[in-house]
Structure 1
Amino acid sequence: MTSFSVDEWCRAHGLSRSFFYLLRSRGEAPRTFKVGRITRISAQANEDWVRGREAATADVAA
């Protein structure tokens, strides 16, 4: 299974860590899981998050 650290995910999406944690506090961040002390984001959670953002943007644009 492919997964991202929070830093890797933020770099891939051009977002800051602080914005990731803001999204998380709002319940809008991708699902995460822990491996030891490290927070990871699975490839599936990333894909689901992107689809959700696309749907939200399409709803606003319509």
Structure 2
Amino acid sequence: MVYKSKAENAAAAVAASIPRGAYSLDEFCAAHNISMGLYRKLREQGLGPRETRILRRVVISVEAAAAWRREREAASAAETEVQ
């Protein structure tokens, strides 16, 4: 049995058109163009996405990421209206 790296497995899943179910923290930050530092800051302020812990791993479901984007967009729109 040949073992593949995490990156190779991810690339194979994309090539096979397997839909993504969740993001790792690094993948979430890359997908949303934010740094891990900003992610941690948002999480500490209670503004981060809903996380799921699987043993020692933390993942963010695709649904939680979409909900987080909607919340951030709504907050941004409300802030813009106040100004």
TM-score by length of 1: 0.92
* Higher RCO (C-alpha under 8 Å, 6+ residues apart): 1
Structure with bigger strand share is 1
Structure 2: segments with no counterpart, 5+ residues:
1-19
Deviating runs (4+, > 6 A) in structure 1? none
Structure 1 residue 18, shift from structure 2 partner? 1.3
Structure 1: segments with no counterpart, 5+ residues:
none
Structure 1 residue 60, shift from structure 2 partner? 1.3
* 1:35 aligned to which of 54, 57, 61: 54
Matched to 1:43, the amino acid is V
TM-score by length of 2: 0.70
Structure 1 residue 9, shift from structure 2 partner? 0.2
Give a deviation string over 1:30-59, Cα, whole Å, max 9, x none.
000111211000111101100001101111
- Residue of structure 1 equivalent to 2:45: 26
For 1:35 and 1:58, the matched residues in 2 are separated by: 34
- Number of residue pairs matched? 62
Q: Percent identity?
A: 37
Give a deviation string over 1:1-37, Cα, whole Å, max 9, x none.
7100000000001111111111111000000011121
For 2:44 and 2:79, the matched residues in 1 are separated by: 22
